[in-house]
Amino acid sequence: MQEELVEEYLNNTNLNKNGGNKMGSLKEEAMAYEPKTTLNIADLSEVPVDITILEAEGIDKEGKTFKYKYAELNGKEYRVPVSVLEELKKIIKLKPTVTKIKVNKSGSGLCTRYEVEALD
């Protein structure tokens, strides 16, 4: 009787026998899977300079932990390289009233370069 009550309870909830949440089938989960990605701030057409910067940790290809800065916009994370912050600091010294920037990216890997331009 008690086992039947437990089965009925589990059938009417989103829990499984181990206390975890029931999920869809393997196929359903695979089709719904969206890997977490961090885009680059250069992917944006313009960036407000007052956007909040956050810090997170990632794991590189060799399994080492590293920290990176990012901004969140429209539910997506955009990585902000340190060189962009350095360039923006120079711009702010020359033009303290700047409110929007554009980040241009060239190269790839260790040869990546970022150029920051004021839009106003």
- % residues pLDDT > 90 (the chain): 59
Q: What local confidence, expressed as pLDDT, does residue 69 receive?
A: 96
- Which pLDDT value is given to residue 2? 62
Q: In the predicted model, what is the mean pLDDT of residues 93-115?
A: 94
The whole model's pTM is what? 0.68
- pLDDT, tens digit, 9 for 90 and up, residues 50-71: 999 999 998 888 999 999 999 9
Q: How confident is the model at residue 10 (pLDDT cuts 50, 70, 90)?
A: low
Which of 40, 38, 18 has its CA nearest to residue 107?
A: 40
Pairing status of strand 76-79 against strand 100-106: unpaired
Cβ atoms of 94 and 116 closer than 8 Å: no
